[in-house]
Amino acid sequence: MRLARTIALITMAGVIGGTSGGTAVAQEKSASPVQQVLFMCPHGAAKSVLASAHFERLAKERGLNVRVLSAGTEPDAAIAPPVAALLEREGYAPRTAPPRKATPDDMAKADLVISLGCDLSGLPTPRGRLLRWDDVPSPSADLTKADEAIRAKVNALIDELVRQQVSKRR
């Protein structure tokens, strides 16, 4: 009886401690505002799809509170099949929604807009910060090089955002 009570108390302490710690982490994450990040490429079918997928996964792994969107300035009807196949091979959830056109509302709500070779003249100036990644190679010319370039830029951006988040907590 005494052993059973000791085990029950230890278990309760572990559960309470685990719940308390988890709740504190969840509260800390929810306390940080959600940053909306918009990736844009001309057709919304390749570069922005790759960048948003890589960014979303890495942001989640690094604990960033983000909402990630992708769009095109002149969207294609579907995601480029080689891009969809690459993402599937890498374990990303299949994207079923077709590319969509970037809207003035997207620009007004985004904290961060990353343009991958877009002509932005038909859209309003973004409310948030604008980054231009115009030097990313064309995925249709060399998907591997384009993916590597995008990954490098995404990694650097995530590192920067994590550093900013850490310095805000101090």
* Tens digits of residue pLDDT in 128-162: 999 999 999 999 999 999 999 999 999 999 999 99
DSSP-based helix, strand, coil % in the chain, nearest 5: 50, 15, 35
What integer pLDDT is reported at residue 94 of this predicted model?
86
Question: Using only C-alpha atoms, what is the Rg of the chain?
Answer: 21
Provide the percentage of residues in the chain whose pLDDT is more than 70: 82
Q: What percent of the chain has pLDDT over 90?
A: 74
Contact partners, residue 146, CB within 8 Å, separation at least 6: 46, 47, 50, 136, 137, 138, 139
Q: Report DSSP state, residue 76.
A: -
Say if 16 falls within a structural domain: no
Indicate whether 17 belongs to any domain: no
CATH number, domain with residue 41: 3.40.50.2300
- Which CA distances in Å does 132 have to 7, 64, 108, 118? 58, 21, 17, 9
pLDDT reported for residue 12: 34
Indicate the number of domains in the chain: 1
In a domain, 10, yes or no: no
Q: What pLDDT is recorded for position 3?
A: 38
The angle subtended at Cα 67 by Cα 122 and Cα 49, nearest 5°, is 60
Residue 19 lies in a domain: no
pLDDT score, position 31 = 56
Flag whether 7 is in a domain. Answer: no
Domain span holding position 47? 34-169
Question: Is pLDDT above 50 for 6?
Answer: no
Q: What is the dihedral of CA 46, 49, 53, 54, to 10 degrees?
A: 50
More confident residue, 1 or 82: 82
21 found inside a domain: no
Query: Considering the domain boundaries, does residue 29 fall inside one?
Result: no
Q: Which tokens in the block code for residue 89?
A: 């091979």
Domain contains 8: no
pTM for this structure? Answer: 0.80
DSSP assigned state of 99: P
Q: Which residues lie below 8 Å from residue 50, measured CB to CB, with a gap of 6+?
A: 83, 86, 87, 139, 146, 147, 150
